[in-house]
Amino acid sequence: MSTQNIRLGLIGAGRMGSFHGLTAARHIPGASLAAIADPTPGQAARLAAELGVAKVYTDPQQLLDDPDIDGVLIAAPARSHAELVISAARAGKGIFCEKPMAITLDEADRAIAAAADARVPLQVGFNRRFAKSFRTAHLDVVAGRIGTPQLLRSLTRDPALNNPAASPQWVIFLETLIHDFDTLRYLNPGAEAVQVYVMADALIAPEYKSKGFLDTAVVTIRFDNGAIATAEANFQAVYGYDVRGEVFGSAGMLSMGSVTESDLVRYLAQGIQADTLRLDTDLLRDAYIAELNHFVDCLRSGAKPLASGEDARAALAIARACIESFETGKAVAVQGAQR
């Protein structure tokens, strides 16, 4: 499938699925969106009509069985990701899976093995690796531009708490901070997390704490190269979608992230004012496009994606240790970090 058009299939037509579908259909040269699968009645059909996609399925397996599909974009609920990855691998499809790729380390290992056995590319939706500033920072660190990393910070703040009642348990670790865990690994290349300690709480919606729903968390992480990192999340940043990173090393510091909507600045009687962004799909739009371009490149070349199943597994190991740290109140070793 080297020179011709790459035909993508989308599994999951919810918010992120629709966004990935739009991106695949419109903004990826050399690729097209050929099919959409979603079990919710009408969901796939609605999106397919909007994007001019011919094939609609309710069962993802039908899409996986479709011989005209080269690669799949998995944007179904997180709990189903690992099984879909395994099925897609068995069907011989290249796989782009939204984060988290898995909920347990065992699942993660099976997903990685399935893709390896089938020799299909497996990419995970760690979008910040494809954001210009984070990517350049990573390359700067690799090039030794700030010496050895000693202190790192990554944070994610959502602009508004969204339906805690329907949120899966530990969502703050497994679905939000998983981005930051990966970012910290990306900014501290070659190092692995060895220990975590968590302080977390339900400060925005305390009534959900007893149901295992946390909305505020600070995680401290020690890496095997000595670097100490902080990952931080909160679900109600009234000012916008806030994603930032910082890496401080023996020869300098890099900082990334801005919540401003554009380079317009207003100077008014009340002071200086600027607008902010409120959607991850606006803040990281170029990164979302870049990651799908990368996926299509990998489908074509067979190269290992930049955000791999192993990366997903390593971030998940940190998230699982966080859950244990929260439950025990103690610092916890990260499983499988030793290489």
Range 19-48, binding a copy of itself (CB under 8 A): 26-27, 29
162 or 260: CB nearest a copy of itself? 260
What is the pattern of x (binds a copy of itself, CB under 8 A) and - over residues 206-235?
A: ----------xxx-x-x---xxxxx-x-x-
Alpha-carbon radius of gyration of the chain: 20
Looking at residue 284, what DSSP letter applies? T
310 makes contact with a copy of itself (CB under 8 A): no
Tell which positions 59-98 bind a copy of itself, by CB under 8 A. Answer: none
Rank residues 61 and 258 by Cβ distance to a copy of itself and give the closer one.
Answer: 258
Is residue 293 near a copy of itself by the rule CB under 8 A?
Answer: no
Give 95 or 284: the residue with its C-beta nearer to a copy of itself: 284
Integer Cα distance of 137 and 245 in angstroms? 9
The footprint of a copy of itself on residues 261-290 (CB under 8 A) is 261-276
Task: Give the helix ranges, DSSP H, for 56-104.
Answer: 60-65, 81-90
Q: Rounded to an integer, what distance in angstroms lies between the CA atom of residue 311 and that of residue 102?
A: 11
Candidate list 40, 104, 169, 255; residue touching a copy of itself; CB under 8 A:
255
145 binds a copy of itself (CB under 8 A): yes
- Report which secondary-structure segment, H or E, holds 293: helix 285-301
Window 121-140: contact mask with a copy of itself (x via CB under 8 A):
----------xxxx-xx--x
260 near a copy of itself (CB under 8 A): yes
Angle between helices 285-301 and 132-142 (to 10 degrees): 60
Exactly one of 1, 113, 116, 203 binds a copy of itself (CB under 8 A); that residue is 203
Residue 234 to residues 220, 242, 245, 259, Cα–Cα distance (Å) = 15, 10, 15, 15
Distances in Å between the Cα of 168 and the Cα atoms of 102, 172, 176 are 13, 9, 12
# residues near a copy of itself by CB under 8 A: 72
Asked if residues 196 and 329 have their Cβ atoms less than 8 Å apart, the reply is no
